[in-house]
Chain A
Amino acid sequence: MAEETKIRVLVAKPGLDGHDRGAKVVARALRDAGMEVVYTGIRQTPEMIVEAAVQEDVDVVGLSILSGAHLELFPPIAEGLKKKGKTDVLLVAGGIIPDEDIPALQKIGIKAIFGPGTPTSKIIEFIKNELAGRKN
């Protein structure tokens, strides 16, 4: 039986906002839950995030944004990942994202939006469930 491979996650901050408390807490919680986590730091362009996801060969990309630029910045990330052949990557997001924007984001392939107050345990569980079956 093959050794269990760790889930690989990229936590990324697209756009210009410096609010990284949430991203860092989530990144650390995922790491403590046994995942391999790469955190990009702030001020990443969509291109940089796609590039990092490919380079690091991640299973999950988590996007954190609080500036309100999600409708402009998430679609090029989702498209870029597809173009690079990363069609199976699990895309999730968090931050200040009004409910009315969620359908548009789901449409481009963002599987879950974790708003303020979400326990990290819920994010961990979601990722593990989504990826169950892919890894064994």
Chain B
Amino acid sequence: MPSKKKQEWKEVTLAPTIERFHERQDKFETSSGIDISPVYTPEDMPDFDYSAALGYPGEYPFTRGIQPNMYRGRLWTMRQYAGFGTAEESNKRYRYLLEQGQTGLSIAFQLPTQIGYDSDHPLAKGEVGKVGVAIDTLEDMEILFKGISLDKVSTSMTINSTAPILLAMYIALAKKKGVDPAKLDGTIQNDILKEYIARGTHIFPPRPSMRLTTDIFAYCSQHVPRWNTISISGYHIREAGSTAAQEIAFTLANGIAYVQAAIAAGLDVDEFAGRLSFFFNAHNNLFEEVAKFRAARCLWSKIISQRFEAKDPRSTMLRFHTQTAGCTLTAQQPYNNIVRVAIQALAATLGGTQSLHTNSFDEAYATPSKEAVTIALRTQQLLAYETGIGDVVDPLGGSYLIEYLTEALERQAGEYIDKIDKLGGAVAAIEQGFQQREIQESSYHQQKNIEENKATVVGVNKFVSSSPEISELLRVNPELERKQRERLAKVKKNRDNGKVTKVLKNLEEVARGRDNTMPVFIDCVEAYASIGEICDVLRKVFGTQREYLVF
């Protein structure tokens, strides 16, 4: 007789089997510590209410997706993060990627550009053109986008502390090319809070930084209405070692802080909330990851409509970019990474991402080579065009397991957000080291699990064999550093330096006052003031912020 209840089945059918054949592990759990039982049934979700928890795609709370027909209308944007060396070299890589069918650009900047130093600063030594492209002045941006139509491409820029300056350059460039800024499509990361938590390219203290952020919200709502003014990022939080639940919670808690700051600056929530975007990681635990994206969408739409009383449905949609998890890539047996990336990309698309970056298999060694990045892009194209994954909305919706995990993650993340609220919000919690400490605990726990063989990393602690050599790693030519410094010197010599002094002085006044800083940033970059010069002024006015070190 078949069992009538799960409990009965457990006793009658499951228990004897486990008795005879022990299970592989004493306990099965997800990254967030959610216990996984052998099977899921409607009994696992006695209070499940379809319309309250899920609803229909394109409708509140958007658990199933933000568009009614999702990828049946348009596939996700395939957007490979790229940039290295000088603007000329990166321009070549972007044009290559566009020719290969990539549908959006994603700019990686060198660290000095991200931290507000010019390429000739002593701290830039050895860093010029590494991890991203060197941008010092508008002239570098002109070269970077040579032959690329700004009104035809959407451009994402991973830039945070110096986001207003790079955005000002993009707007100035559009004007020079005769493109109306109102037609510009793209995203700046502009998420300073996760820099203090996990990524480490902050310059100024949180409060003046938040002002720069909200200045961008206000300026873009008037002048660059299609621009995504922030990409609130869980990606780096996860890379630093968080669990899936922490990734959702710390990201959305930062989101809450930005919304509060913008409202405090006098903006109406529906004026800017529709331009907020998010950025998540796609990690290894396939089902937990799919559930994570769904839970984040549902939780954010509730937060924005209940806590902030947004009225416009667009304000309540969580739109997000995804990148596969760099931290899961191994230097050992590097070709295995192609498979890891494919499965992570599957999770992202099953989770309804709006755009996707797939990592290259050689990233545990260097910035990706052309061959490796092509395979990564082809992985997305293969998913999109060969598997039928985009033919139906939220394909895993209704799976007992997925719905159970979605609910569990939403609950866990909600509890973390409550904790952060009690600490005084995301900024106060960061100042107290709360998120940093939680992430470090998780990351150390994961490392211990690997070393104690409780977690398996194929090729690292199991199925170990000698790795094939990877050929043709990308090397950034050290000569570039000299060339970039020469170019900067030439720009500084040929520009109208009287004008530069004047705009920088004006910047100082605006920074000390309360006016929106964006127009004066545009004046500065149009006068070819460099990022280092602009940031020196801001450092003088705002001061600098060391990391909130927790160890």
Contact = CB atoms under 8 A, between A and B. Distances in A.
Interface of A: 15-21, 24-25, 27-29, 39, 41-43, 45, 67-73, 96, 98, 115-117, 119-121
B194 to A, nearest CB: 11
Contacts of A70: 126
A126 B175 CA distance: 58
A117 B451 contact: no
A27 B551 contact: yes
A70 B476 CA distance: 13
Given A20-B200, A25-B447, A96-B365, 14 more contacts: A15-B127, A16-B123, A16-B124, A16-B127, A18-B199, A24-B440, A27-B551, A29-B444, A41-B547, A41-B549, A69-B125, A98-B365, A98-B366, A119-B450
A98 B130 contact: no
B364 A42 contact: no
B126 A15 contact: yes
B547 A68 contact: no
B419 to A, nearest CB: 22
B407 interface: no
A68 B327 contact: no
Interface of B: 111-112, 114-115, 122-127, 130-131, 195, 198-201, 239-241, 327, 329-332, 364-367, 440, 443-444, 447, 450-451, 457, 460-461, 473, 475-476, 478, 546-547, 549, 551
A45 B121 CA distance: 13
A116 B330 contact: yes
B365 A21 contact: no
A68 B110 CA distance: 11
Given A21-B241, A68-B367, A98-B366, A115 B443 contact: no
Given A42-B547, A69-B130, A73-B125, A18 B330 contact: no
B93 to A, nearest CB: 16
B200 A17 contact: yes
Nearest to A72: B126
Nearest to B363: A96
Contacts of A116: 329-331, 364
A25 B444 CA distance: 6
Contacts of A45: 122-123
Nearest to B236: A18
Most A-side CB within 10 Å, residue of B114, B200, B549: B200
Given A25-B447, A72-B125, A17 B111 contact: yes
Prevailing SS type, chain A contact patch:
loop
The 4 closest A-B pairs by CB, nearest first: A18-B200, A72-B126, A69-B126, A16-B111
Contact of B126 (A21, A25, A43, A73): A73
A98 B367 CA distance: 11
A73 B481 CA distance: 14
B200 A68 contact: no
Contacts of A25: 241, 443-444, 447
Most A-side CB within 10 Å, residue of B200, B364, B366, B551: B551
Contacts of A68: 130-131, 366-367, 476
A68 B547 CA distance: 22
A117 B126 contact: no
Contacts of B200: 17-20, 42-43
B330 A16 contact: no
Contacts of B440: 24, 28
Contacts of B457: 117
Most B-side CB within 10 Å, residue of A17, A18, A116: A18
Contacts of B473: 98
A96 B122 CA distance: 22
Nearest to B115: A16
A135 B83 CA distance: 48
A17 B111 CA distance: 7
B182 to A, nearest CB: 35
A115 to B, nearest CB: 5
B243 to A, nearest CB: 14
A117 B366 contact: no
A24 B551 contact: yes
Given A18-B200, A21-B327, A67-B131, A96 B366 contact: yes
A121 B461 CA distance: 13
Nearest to B130: A68
Contacts of B460: 117
18 contacts: A16-B112, A17-B111, A18-B199, A18-B200, A18-B201, A19-B239, A20-B240, A25-B241, A28-B444, A28-B551, A39-B551, A42-B547, A43-B123, A43-B200, A43-B547, A68-B366, A69-B126, A117-B330
A71 B461 CA distance: 30
A99 to B, nearest CB: 8
Contacts of B447: 25, 29, 120
A20 B197 CA distance: 11
Contact of A21 (B239, B330, B478): B239
A21 B240 contact: yes
Nearest to A42: B200
Contacts of B199: 18
